[in-house]
């Protein structure tokens, strides 16, 4: 089966744009393990996830999201959420950046 050479340049340009957009997209950041301090302050596991609104650090600042708190300690909360593209995420954030919905 032959290839369609007529549109090859357009397809290549579109793929290059998509790759560039993916690299420019902000990435979610989780607190480092040393800040969470889970080894000395053991996190409490939620019996059922708690609906929360949280400020999550990203490479370009912070963003507020709707999430579910799944565990926490005196310093931080681990939240989980699904983004607009259907991808699942999980991050540790400071306790003060989370509010119950």
Domains and CATH numbers, the chain: 27-100 (2.30.30)
Residue 45, token pair as written in the block: 């596991």
At residue 92, the pLDDT reads: 97
At residue 16, the pLDDT reads: 74
Helix, strand, coil shares, percent, the chain, to 5 = 25, 45, 30
CA 101 – CA 93 distance, rounded (Å): 16
Low-confidence ranges of the chain (pLDDT < 50): none
DSSP H or E stretch at residue 3: none
At residue 33, the pLDDT reads: 93
At residue 31, the pLDDT reads: 94
At residue 47, the pLDDT reads: 95
At residue 18, the pLDDT reads: 72
Alpha helix stretches (DSSP H) within the chain: 8-24, 33-36
At residue 24, the pLDDT reads: 61
């Amino acid at each position: 089966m032959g290839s369609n050479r007529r549109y090859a340049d357009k397809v290549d340009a579109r793929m290059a744009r998509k790759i560039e957009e993916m690299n420019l997209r902000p990435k979610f950041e989780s607190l480092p393990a040393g800040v969470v301090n889970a080894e000395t302050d053991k996190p409490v596991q939620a019996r059922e996830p708690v609906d929360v609104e949280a400020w999550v650090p990203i490479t370009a600042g912070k963003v507020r999201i709707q999430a579910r708190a799944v565990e926490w300690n005196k310093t931080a909360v681990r939240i989980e959420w699904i983004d607009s593209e259907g991808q699942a995420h999980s991050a540790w954030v400071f306790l003060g950046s989370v509010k119950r919905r």
